[in-house]
């Protein structure tokens, strides 16, 4: 008879409480599947007396997560504290050093310290599992680490932040501004009081860095990601995208190019026929393109206590079966150095929205500047704004008019150079809007 | 140093040739990931001299797959022969009895003999892996067996046959008949000369039976599936579906109901907002609904040599790492008996297309028959057919007119009873068309 697998859970927030409920409901089945009894034996959190909707009094209590991590009474340390530094970091290291398996949902910790922690886990012969860290309930880590073992990945891209996707979906469906949708998301609990981490793309960047490391076998480098959030997106952009056959999503994209691995997080124009263009609301989705499998798409809940607990338990079940996988799908020593492809060398199509002063020759000057940079245009849309009620029938010559350009494939450097010259020429007001287009493979 | 993992491959068709190419291209990386050298050492096929586009002369040759299965020189028997009986069946049994791990892409074999083979594998302590058997390159087996270990599945449904999805997509996009699209699919190699296995739903049923066994932990029972193919679907149905906000897909559906597990394969009306309604062409997709994760959707290539080889290698990599998972996600002894819910007790909405004789009282009689069975109607669409060029301005009273009914949730038994009475009343010509609606959870 194999001894039971004893779990110590640090952090009893939403995910921790869901994990306790899940093990209560499915523990027997989980044990039958794994061939080994799986049980929570100890927990740690800040406030022992808080009502969490589940009974945790039956578990040994630790005020100090590090003491729990080192306890001789546990086999697996489940870290649900969060944060790249502080208690989570110290406790995970302590657990690995003590030869405990670690399961974590902590994307920030992995993005910043993943390489070191992987080497530490490997040196102790234990697992460091983190299915919940990249896309909540979507099993993308297992698919990349295991299912795609026989593939070279060429591109991975996804909607990895439910807050941003909720906001963009509302803006599109209801024609509301970013600010109005953000306020609603905050009211509904889909966005934090300080939404920076989500709406400015950092959460997506953390998740992307983890996916990149596994997909391409390169050392994790969260600092090498080009990051741009969704605050600049207007309803004008969303409407123009719709008319041109696109939808706007905040994507994390990693792709192999000649100069290295390109990692970027930014609002993206996706053709409506793209397999993830219609993923709406808080749902997340990841598409992987690889040489043998072609294209796989996974969609599901990117957050939430129950969905996250489902992924945490998947990691625990792997440990119960005795399956030790390299943290990023391969031995830490086999991870290649990350070679960054700069955003300047990014090649692709671009959507540009310019506020052009309506005077003779302006459009000619703009298109000439594009041509000088070797940029070909797929479409130009110029529409006069409807005159305001108290304005004359025709807008004043100097009132800027929106002009939308879609380029064929070019590079970031060329687009930036063209826009700089167009700005200098004085034909446009405001900062031009530029959204990268992510085409189907 | 761990000894290398030696593969014997039986069957060198499209998938076998892709597998050889994959191991040539990614063998070193695969070995690095698995911590163990993975190599093909022996092969078996009918014709040794056939040009397969890959060099197989470097491998030991076996004319007899059973001899290969029993060879002391292999650790894993990879069965790519196909068919529920005959050589594939005998060789897989021989391999398991000889204590070899088995990897197979053979859905028919598993659908018909899965339970026995699982018990045999378990008794020998070896793996029986079959990622490629249910949805080609989509890693649905791993997701069900491992990622969802902490969930109770409530429903699983999917587009599991690329031939049918290709035909339905062409019918919809081009307004062509089933026969015309089938002929095209045959010309393009998407359908066999005898298309029965695909278009009549049997291929989907085999795959569904495998998914059901894992999802619900019940003994596999391919004979208990209600199966209906797509031959009866007309462009009139597809157009009506579109107008009513649906798309028609051939689905395999398994769901837990009060009376047991319901398994059915039939053309299905999916709301356009369903996550798999827009999966077109030969692409496959599976949606799983479960208590903790909510809903996951996986989409990708359901067939093709390279995509199938990708899944075969995923199974091999698991064996190389030493991960032994219960064949259907749990020990064979823990599989519950399959309790069949009959199609008569199926509850849901229905689309009905009737050819109604255009005479006073016909519609009243029909709706009365529906009401007698307690069936409420969500919508009724009656449109006169455009008169033929050589016909009078109004159709003859007895020329039947199409009437489309959408019911609210009811049962198969009630719908069948109502249709029988409507037929007996003599108000309709032809056999009524009936398509089940699969609503979102």
pLDDT surpasses 70 at B395: no
Chain B, nearest residue to A285 by Cα: B297
Q: What is the pLDDT of residue B350?
A: 97
Distance of residue B430 Cα from the nearest chain A Cα, in angstroms: 38
Q: Which two tokens stand for residue B296?
A: 């996951």
Q: Give the CA distances from residue A378 to residues A229, A404, B42, in Å, rounded to whole numbers and listed in that order.
A: 26, 11, 54
Chain A (130-149) residues lying within 8 Å, Cβ to Cβ, of chain B: 131, 137-139, 142-143, 146-149
Q: How many Å apart are CA A238 and CA B215, to the nearest integer?
A: 40
DSSP label at A222?
G
Contact status of B119 with chain A (Cβ, < 8 Å): no
Contact status of A323 with chain B (Cβ, < 8 Å): yes
Burial A316-342 (b: 16+ CB within 10 A, else e): bbbbbbbbbbbbbbbebeebeebebbe
Cβ-Cβ contacts under 8 Å for B2 (sequence gap 6 or more): B35, B36
**Straight-line distance from the first to the last Cα atom of chain A, in angstroms, rounded to the nearest whole number:** 51
Question: Is A12 known as a binding-site position?
Answer: yes
Mutation site for B-interface testing, chosen from A125, A147, A288, A311 by largest number of B Cβ within 10 Å: A147
Residues of chain A neighbouring B329 (CB-CB closer than 8 A) = 33
- Angle (nearest 5°) at CA B140 between A283 and B27: 115
Annotated catalytic residue within B100, B142, B207, B249: B207
pLDDT surpasses 90 at B87: yes
Contact status of A281 with chain B (Cβ, < 8 Å): no
Residues facing A121 on adjacent strands: none
Q: What is the pLDDT of residue A25?
A: 98
Question: Is A349 known as a binding-site position?
Answer: no
Mean pLDDT of chain B: 94
Chain B (204-223) residues lying within 8 Å, Cβ to Cβ, of chain A: 217
Contact status of A24 with chain B (Cβ, < 8 Å): no
* CB-based contact B314 A131, cutoff 8 Å: no
CA A70 to chain centre: 32
Distance of residue A214 Cα from the nearest chain B Cα, in angstroms: 11
Q: How many Å apart are CA B144 and CA A139, to the nearest integer?
A: 10
* CB-based contact A297 B300, cutoff 8 Å: yes
Closest by Cβ to B317, choosing from A32, A150, A152: A150
Contact status of B294 with chain A (Cβ, < 8 Å): yes
Q: Give the CA distances from residue A274 to residues A151, A242, A269, A286, B13, in Å, rounded to whole numbers and listed in that order.
A: 22, 13, 10, 12, 32
Least confident residue range of A391-400, B246-255, B309-318: A391-400
Environment class of B329 (CB within 10 Å of its CB; exposed 0-12, middle 13-18, buried 19+): buried
Does the domain formed by A5-135 have CATH 3.40.50.720?
yes
Chain A (377-396) residues lying within 8 Å, Cβ to Cβ, of chain B: none
Q: Residue B207 catalytic?
A: yes
* CB-based contact A292 B18, cutoff 8 Å: yes
Contact status of A151 with chain B (Cβ, < 8 Å): yes
The answer, yes or no, to whether ipTM is higher than 0.90 is yes
Q: Give SS3 for B305.
A: helix
* Class of domain A140-302+338-343 as given by CATH: alpha beta
Where in chain A are the domains?
A: 5-135, 140-302+338-343, 346-437
Reduce the secondary structure of B311-322 to three states and give it as a string: HHHHHHHHHHHC
Mutation site for B-interface testing, chosen from A149, A217, A319, A322 by largest number of B Cβ within 10 Å: A149
Closest by Cβ to A323, choosing from B22, B323, B329: B323
Question: Is B169 known as a binding-site position?
Answer: no
Q: Give SS3 for A281.
A: coil
Closest by Cβ to B33, choosing from A149, A275, A297: A149
Q: How many Å apart are CA B331 and CA A396, to the nearest integer?
A: 78
Mutation site for A-interface testing, chosen from B18, B149, B288 by largest number of A Cβ within 10 Å: B149
CATH topology for B140-302+332-343? Dihydrodipicolinate Reductase; domain 2 (3.30.360)
Strands in A139-245 per DSSP E: 153-159, 226-227
Contact status of B301 with chain A (Cβ, < 8 Å): yes
The CATH code of domain A346-437 reads 3.30.70.260
Residues of chain B neighbouring A297 (CB-CB closer than 8 A) = 297-300
Question: What are the φ and ψ backbone dihedral angles of A335, each rounded to 5 degrees?
Answer: -75, 130
Q: What is the pLDDT of residue B116?
A: 95
Distance of residue B352 Cα from the nearest chain A Cα, in angstroms: 29
Q: What is the pLDDT of residue A242?
A: 95
Tens-place pLDDT, residues B99-108: 999 999 999 9
Q: Which two tokens stand for residue A187?
A: 């009211």
pLDDT surpasses 80 at B384: no
Q: Are B128 and B266 in contact (CB under 8 A)?
A: no
Q: How many Å apart are CA A205 and CA A254, to the nearest integer?
A: 10
Q: What is the pLDDT of residue A408?
A: 96
pLDDT by residue for chain A (441 residues), tens only, comes to 579 999 999 999 999 999 999 999 999 999 999 989 999 999 999 999 999 999 999 999 999 999 999 999 999 999 999 999 999 999 999 999 999 999 999 999 999 999 999 999 999 999 999 999 999 999 999 999 999 999 999 999 999 999 999 999 999 999 999 999 999 999 998 899 999 999 999 999 999 999 999 999 998 887 889 999 999 999 999 999 999 999 999 999 999 987 889 999 999 999 999 989 999 999 999 999 999 999 999 999 999 999 999 999 999 999 999 999 999 999 998 888 888 888 898 999 999 999 999 888 999 999 999 999 999 999 999 876 655 555 555 555 567 899 999 999 999 999 999 999 999 999 999 899 999 999 887
Q: How many Å apart are CA A19 and CA A9, to the nearest integer?
A: 9
Q: Give the CA distances from residue B270 to residues A67, A126, B156, B438, in Å, rounded to whole numbers and listed in that order.
A: 53, 45, 14, 5
Total beta-carbon pairs less than 8 A apart between chain A and chain B: 186
Is the backbone of residue B241 left (phi > 0), alpha (psi -120 to 50) or beta?
A: alpha
Closest by Cβ to B138, choosing from A217, A291, A296: A296
Contact status of B37 with chain A (Cβ, < 8 Å): no
Tens-place pLDDT, residues B124-164: 999 999 999 999 999 999 999 999 999 999 999 999 999 99
């Amino acid at each position: 008879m194999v001894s039971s697998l004893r779990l110590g859970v640090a952090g009893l927030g939403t995910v921790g409480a869901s994990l306790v409920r899940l093990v209560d409901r499915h523990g027997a089945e989980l044990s039958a599947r794994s061939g080994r009894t799986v049980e929570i034996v100890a927990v740690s959190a800040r406030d022992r007396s808080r009502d969490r909707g589940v009974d945790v009094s039956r578990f040994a209590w630790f005020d100090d997560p590090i003491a729990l991590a080192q306890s001789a009474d546990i086999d697996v340390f489940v870290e649900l504290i969060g944060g790249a530094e502080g208690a989570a970091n110290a406790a995970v290291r302590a657990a690995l050093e003590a030869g405990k398996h670690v399961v974590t949902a902590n994307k920030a910790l992995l993005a910043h310290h993943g390489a070191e922690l992987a080497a530490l886990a490997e040196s102790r012969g234990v697992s460091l599992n983190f299915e919940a860290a990249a896309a909540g309930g979507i099993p993308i880590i297992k698919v990349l680490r295991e299912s795609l073992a026989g593939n070279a990945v060429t591109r991975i891209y996804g909607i990895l932040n439910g807050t941003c996707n909720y906001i963009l979906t509302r803006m599109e469906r209801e024609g509301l501004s970013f600010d109005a949708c953000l306020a609603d998301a905050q009211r509904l609990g889909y966005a934090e009081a300080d939404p920076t981490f989500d709406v400015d793309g950092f959460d997506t960047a953390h998740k992307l860095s983890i996916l990149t490391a596994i997909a391409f076998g390169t050392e994790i480098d969260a600092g090498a990601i080009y990051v741009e959030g969704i605050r600049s997106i207007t309803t004008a952009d969303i409407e123009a995208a719709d008319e041109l056959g696109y939808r706007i999503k905040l994507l994390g994209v990693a792709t192999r190019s000649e100069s290295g691995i390109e990692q970027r997080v930014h609002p993206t124009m996706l053709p409506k026929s793209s397999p993830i263009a219609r993923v709406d609301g808080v749902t997340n989705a990841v598409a992987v393109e690889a040489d043998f499998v072609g294209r796989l798409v996974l969609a599901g809940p990117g957050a939430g206590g129950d969905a996250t607990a489902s992924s945490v338990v998947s990691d625990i079940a792997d440990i119960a079966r005795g399956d030790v996988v390299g943290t990023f799908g391969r031995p830490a020593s086999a991870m290649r150095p990350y070679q960054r492809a700069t955003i300047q060398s990014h090649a692709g199509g671009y959507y540009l929205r310019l506020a052009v002063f309506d005077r003779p020759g302006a459009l000619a000057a703009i298109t000439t500047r594009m041509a000088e940079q070797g940029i070909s245009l797929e479409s130009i849309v110029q529409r006069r704004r409807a005159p305001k009620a108290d304005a004359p029938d025709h807008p004043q010559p100097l009132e800027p008019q929106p002009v939308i350009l879609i380029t064929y494939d070019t590079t970031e450097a060329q687009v930036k150079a063209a826009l700089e010259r167009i700005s200098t020429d004085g034909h446009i007001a405001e900062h031009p809007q530029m959204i990268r287009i992510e085409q189907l493979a």
